């Protein structure tokens, strides 16, 4: 059980992380295992690719200019690996106080998972800025050489206007730059995950 050093209702100035653990086949955050039991909104229009490393006790990320440009490695440090980051939103899974998580990784199994959902997204939405509502389908075995790992599996359920909650300002927690496509009132269908 984590120490209650902060009031979770007041911690709204950052996006907590979530990671997929390919060796055990589940998501985890700072508190441990996370069960994805509801549909979640995946902010694929803002998916970033780039270079990622763990340095001085924290993750650093240097984003590419866009998803079709490959930026040169920041320096000769071998710790930099190609990776991605994307936000997930779901009050039912992550709670009302801070319903968004940043999924970021630089491993091959997670890259394969994000490529799979991106392929489905591009087929349904080749040039749009809709967010994806996805259903987590569980751990999917994938092989790399002689090793087998568990990849996060998703089904794309539908595309929706990006919820304003996805545009939260990372410093203040405010919705400083709301999306022009985000609808201020969510419909009953969309309310199920946000």
**Rounded CA separation 125/144 (Å):** 30
98 in Cβ contact with 16 (< 8 Å): yes
- pLDDT band for 144, please (50, 70, 90 cuts): confident
Among the residue ranges 36-45, 80-89, 122-131, the one predicted with the least confidence is 122-131
Q: Supply the pLDDT for residue 178.
A: 31
| Whether pLDDT at 11 is above 60 | no
Bridge partners for 150 per DSSP = 141
Tokens 């997929």 map to which residue?
Answer: 20
As a whole number of angstroms, the distance between CA 11 and CA 129 comes to 29
What residues pair up with 148 in beta bridges, in sequence order?
Answer: 143
Residue 111 in 3-state DSSP? helix
Note the pLDDT of residue 186. 37
Mean pLDDT of the chain: 82
């Amino acid at each position: 059980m984590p120490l209650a050093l902060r009031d979770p209702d007041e911690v709204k100035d950052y996006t907590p992380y979530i990671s997929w653990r390919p060796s055990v086949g589940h998501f985890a955050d700072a508190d441990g295992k996370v069960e994805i039991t509801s549909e979640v909104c995946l902010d694929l229009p803002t998916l970033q690719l780039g270079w990622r490393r763990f340095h001085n006790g924290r993750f650093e990320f240097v984003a590419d200019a866009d998803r079709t440009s490959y930026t040169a490695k920041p320096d000769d440090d071998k710790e930099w690996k190609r990776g991605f980051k994307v936000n997930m939103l779901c009050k039912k899974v992550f709670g009302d106080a801070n319903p968004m998580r940043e999924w970021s990784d630089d491993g091959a199994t997670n890259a394969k998972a994000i490529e799979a959902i991106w392929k489905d997204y591009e087929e349904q939405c080749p040039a749009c800025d809709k967010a994806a509502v996805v259903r987590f389908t569980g751990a999917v075995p994938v092989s790399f050489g002689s090793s087998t790992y568990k990849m996060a599996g998703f089904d794309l359920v539908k595309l929706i206007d990006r919820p304003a909650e996805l545009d939260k300002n990372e410093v203040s927690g405010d919705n400083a730059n709301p999306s022009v496509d985000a609808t201020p009132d969510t419909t009953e269908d969309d309310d199920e995950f946000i």
